[in-house]
Structure 1
Amino acid sequence: MFEEILNRLAEQKPIVHCITNFVTVNDCANIVLASGGSPTMAHDVGEVGEITEMCQSLVLNMGTLGDDLEAMIAAGKKANELGHPVVLDPVAVGASKLRTNAYRRLESEVRFSVIRGNISEIKAIATGSGSTKGVDADDLDTVREDTLDQAVQMAKTLSRKTGAVIAISGAIDIVADREKAYVIRNGHPMMARITGTGCMLTALIGAFCGANPDRILDSAAAAVCSMGVCGELAHAKTVRTEGGTLSFRTYLIDYMSNLTPEKLNGGMKLEIR
């Protein structure tokens, strides 16, 4: 289903400009490399415009907010000017006034192609009432089978409001534009036991969209499926080798670097709503 998207990623090797948080920057760079893209992590406001010109997509991550906000806005405006995809990860938005106000500034000055967050972050943006546990989703917000339709509708409504594809990651993933939603049931709970899988996914979406700027919804869904399938394979290998969370992180990146359209199509579990 996503063969062309993966093939274009391998052929084009898009340069992905990531202004991301310092906790996960190395893992974000490695997952982009493993997917076939090329990461650059320029953060200084004095150069981000020039660096963005050389790239095919831009990833903005609010994980460790500070002086990076001005750099994000400058890079975002340049990417919009050039017509490059812009992917936002609104980490822990709603947890503090600083983060909520930062998101509002970004939203008012930059057009996003994709907004990727956990359910609590997306709910905070959509309704103003999401709750978080640090950077993690609140258990009360978890998408379950009985709340899935409601979450899909929220994602579609937020897409209409923002003009962006909305990607919600969790036990059940949702990737939606204003009319169509992919519901994805890949991944493994062990992915929540290492730091940065959400940030890595956002960077991965940047790579997929950078190679396929004309297919943003499908590219975001392909990235989410790819991360989930690789997570399942990594967990199985971790069990076989009696490894732990550090081994799991390594295997996750390993499987991403060896992912083929055939492996993805054979492992992905998705439906369209």
Structure 2
Amino acid sequence: MSQATPSRRSVPGHTGIGPGLFLLLSWTVIATVFAAWTAVTALGLAPAALPSPTAVWARGEALFRSGALGAALLASLGRVAAGVALGTFTGLLLGVGAGLSRYGEALVDRPMQMLRVVPFTALTPLFVLALGVGEPMKIIVIAYAVAIPLYINTFAGIRDVDRNLVDVARVYRLSRARIAGQVLLLGALPQVLTGLRFSLGIAWVALVTVEVIGTRTGLGFLLEQGQQYARPETVLLVIVVYGVLGALTDSLVKLLERRLLRWRNAYSGG
């Protein structure tokens, strides 16, 4: 008689939580905060700077109908897309070059480690002086913010691959290109995707920073206008939009992880 394969529910320590319950629990904290916000404003216990959710929703409807919210979203998404594309390409290129080669590491790693401790907010004034306040400056700042963590994770991911795997690949006489692609880069992929998630989160932070500098379009411009004209509902609306966009981009990378890392039998929580 063949031995039956144990089901996931029979594995010790597995809770058997389904995707529906997991999704429900993942929104519990946000729903609780929203309910508390609604209750506090409805009871008149909130400070004047905290408008009610209905006021924020009404402001969002007004900006959407006027076209201002849509135009701001398109402008911000365009900047983030361009900055993330440039930063991802740069971070991956430098990380792969330094990770695969000792020569590359000698040339690249020390400067990147020095730049790692310099926040992009400290370099933004320098970029403004060099490039002005136009679109190139904004894209470069976002790209810089994205490239650094992606480089760190890519380099570390490649160097964390078990050397025995490389030795086995050499025994089977795989070419250097195949070892790099099928062993080192594939083994580094989980950490690269983690770096991408981190980089996308920083991209939205960088966007806030650059869009309050000489900008007439974008979510940051709406944020600045809300502060300038004492419209807290506009400020909160933009904050909520930033949070939603950040959550959406993170979910896209998690979906990419599930598709690309099906081969990995990793622990997913007890």
TM class by shorter chain equals under 0.3
Query: Between Structure 1 and Structure 2, which shows a larger proportion of helix residues?
Result: 2
Greater strand fraction, Structure 1 or Structure 2? 1
Structure exhibiting the larger radius of gyration computed from Cα positions = 2
TM-score (norm 1): 0.24
TM-score (norm 2): 0.24
